[in-house]
Structure 1
């Protein structure tokens, strides 16, 4: 399908959807660098019978409008209908302005936390874009994510509230015991903030996520804040150097989030490909950490997706482990089928449940995942009764009862 077809060492089925020329063109454009082989393939694709409206539709859905515009404008813009090229150009400019504004907001937030002496780390969003793409305009994102230690969450939350941020789940009236239980079971507070900068995104409002863990705890793939802080690398945002996760930990995070969301966007695969192609990954370290944390299968099938769809070259150490575990190829095949399927064919709750189980190579993690999913209260559970009218055990009984009423006996994902 793309330049790396000849390099494939594992064959995977492709759905009828991925064989459409519009999707093949999107895959060819899903990168920051277009070589001569891809350029020739793009030339062939844009000159055949083509559904340009469908291309725009899937590019928008998968967060690929900016890369699509850059690739087409740099190769064969004359072959693109003017109305389509204009639409892509307009969206590219809107995204660039939005990303610039959000990058400025992130720097303001980092300064705010520094002044309050609260250690904080930005991740995903602008820092991922700078690290993997080298240009703030080339990746689509719409919110900001910051990470603090669990011991600093209350101070960080109160600091943001003092700056007129609005918390989306009102849990500040929990008792001290309930607050501790909430922090141990959850990973994020979501805030809505007004931007001081002009950008066309929800009337200048944006979501700020305050994390004290980067992976939901029910998912059973721990990446502790202390561990992440031991392996930071500098990245430049708007000419200013800030700390970012290492390429190895970024890969683990991206593969975990893609798996958790059952690979709903090509952008997630593109992020992985860009990290591999744009940074110096210590493959021994990333494989070691994935195995140690029970996420080797999770890492490998994400890398295999990036190879099969975007043509990323993988090291022999990764290929050996991919061949050793047949489930890696099967999981990647399933994810690839879902990626471009019609909405009616996206995985339901039961399919998501079993897909997640397959990605966990250790039985103990599979058991913990099932128990966590069934028993751990979510933000929705905590928010039902925020005034501490019930004992702590109530929230842990509420979760399975509420899910039983809502879904019957079907396995359900976290809400």
Structure 2
């Protein structure tokens, strides 16, 4: 783990408002953490800035949940009102998406198509314990590649239209702006994942929603998938703190029966160990989650983690979300996250080719062709 302690990281890199947002997450996910907001942050808080950070990091419902429980005399009324209004809008959106998910699930079931739903309402209910407490933008479904055509037809019949196709997913949008990602792989080529659908299905769990049993990942596979998401987002410079809260929420409700030995075995088998360690190290750096001794030992032995974590902490703290960092930093992080020497070499070559192509595309888009 980084030599800096969690309090050091927070005080050196994070403004009081971002610390307060993280504090709300700690209150929710750590039962022993029970400080009052007024004891720590009140004198230096810019409330409008806190609202901004909560929205940027998609944590408005969680921040509202905790702040609303604080002494009302010290929380500005307009701040409470703004948080409550935003949370109601998110809750309505979540309900609408969940309704769509249930309709789609019934159609997949009728046609005997195996489908795994993850993140979105499944994570909100199973890990956060409340559909309105986790903000999400779309639905995520994972299918076997052999069922792509049938799945596309089912989704299209419910009013969704294809907006983009990638090597690992198809993105759909409805007229009401709701979005759905149909995955037949868990990540793009830049972060290849060897978690096979049959294995995921064999170990899948079911979550009860409105008298329907919706299939989702088991907690161990869920953690691996969330760490892939965190690592990919960190590499793309678009990591938001809600992704780390997902990991903290999952572990907070699953810790007693969580099989860490299985996670480590599966991660090693799928060449995801470094991605797993990086996701856990980042979550610990920001949220100070409790991890078992065997995981902490592994983190201490991964010397590359310290630099990667601190660079990411700085990028998040400086609000560099969506602003690409230097080419060297991105290549270095990607190189660290690869498991084998062959993987490192091949990925470097692929990235150089892809980034060169992207640069050419940008130049052509900026300079229109002459019609002479």
Q: TM-score normalized by structure 2?
A: 0.87
Partner of 1:296: 273
Question: Matches of 1:37 and 1:132 in 2, distance apart?
Answer: 18
Mean Cα deviation higher: 332-341 or 128-137: 332-341
Confirm whether residue 127 of structure 1 aligns to residue 122 of structure 2.
yes
Partner of 1:157: 152
Confirm whether residue 247 of structure 1 aligns to residue 202 of structure 2.
no
Question: Matches of 2:273 and 2:356 in 1, distance apart?
Answer: 34
Mean Cα deviation higher: 123-132 or 10-19: 10-19
Structural mapping, 1:87-102, within 5 Å: 87-102=82-97
Partner of 2:358: 403
Partner of 1:287: 264
Of residues 313, 332, 335 in structure 2, which corresponds to 1:354? 332
Confirm whether residue 74 of structure 1 aligns to residue 69 of structure 2.
yes
Question: Matches of 1:347 and 1:305 in 2, distance apart?
Answer: 19
SS of structure 2 residue aligned to 1:144: strand
Deviations 1:342-390 (A, max 9, x none): 3389542613233222222322222232344456xxxxxxxxxxxxxxx
Partner of 2:319: 342
Counterpart contact for 2:27–2:34, Cα < 8 Å: no
Deviation at 1:303, TM superposition (A): 1.0
Partner of 1:137: 132
Counterpart contact for 1:231–1:246, Cα < 8 Å: yes
Unpaired segments ≥5 residues, structure 2: 364-372
Counterpart contact for 1:126–1:136, Cα < 8 Å: yes
Partner of 1:113: 108
SS of structure 1 residue aligned to 2:289: coil
Mean Cα deviation higher: 229-238 or 107-116: 229-238
Deviation at 1:123, TM superposition (A): 1.1
Confirm whether residue 213 of structure 1 aligns to residue 191 of structure 2.
no
Deviation at 1:324, TM superposition (A): 1.3
Deviation at 1:69, TM superposition (A): 0.3
Question: Matches of 1:155 and 1:374 in 2, distance apart?
Answer: 36
SS of structure 1 residue aligned to 2:205: strand
- Do the aligned partners of residues 18 and 138 (structure 1) sit closer, same or farther apart at CA in structure 2, a change above 3 Å counting? farther
Deviation at 1:401, TM superposition (A): 7.6
Question: Matches of 2:157 and 2:29 in 1, distance apart?
Answer: 47
Of residues 60, 63, 69 in structure 2, which corresponds to 1:65? 60
Of residues 173, 176, 181 in structure 2, which corresponds to 1:192? 173
Partner of 1:318: 295
Question: Matches of 1:273 and 1:35 in 2, distance apart?
Answer: 9
Deviation at 1:327, TM superposition (A): 0.9
Question: Matches of 2:73 and 2:212 in 1, distance apart?
Answer: 38
Counterpart contact for 2:224–2:263, Cα < 8 Å: yes
Partner of 2:251: 276
Deviation at 1:47, TM superposition (A): 3.1
Question: Matches of 2:264 and 2:56 in 1, distance apart?
Answer: 31
Confirm whether residue 267 of structure 1 aligns to residue 211 of structure 2.
no
SS of structure 2 residue aligned to 1:167: strand
Counterpart contact for 1:126–1:237, Cα < 8 Å: no
- Do the aligned partners of residues 360 and 34 (structure 1) sit closer, same or farther apart at CA in structure 2, a change above 3 Å counting? closer
Of residues 343, 357, 362 in structure 2, which corresponds to 1:365? 343
Deviations 1:252-292 (A, max 9, x none): 11111111111620001111111111113210011111122
Q: TM-score normalized by structure 1?
A: 0.79
- Do the aligned partners of residues 313 and 333 (structure 1) sit closer, same or farther apart at CA in structure 2, a change above 3 Å counting? same
- Aligned pair count? 355
Question: Matches of 1:66 and 1:90 in 2, distance apart?
Answer: 10
Question: Matches of 2:321 and 2:228 in 1, distance apart?
Answer: 24
- Do the aligned partners of residues 220 and 368 (structure 1) sit closer, same or farther apart at CA in structure 2, a change above 3 Å counting? farther
Mean Cα deviation higher: 339-348 or 58-67: 339-348
Deviations 1:314-363 (A, max 9, x none): 01110111111111222222221112213389542613233222222322
Mean Cα deviation higher: 215-224 or 337-346: 337-346
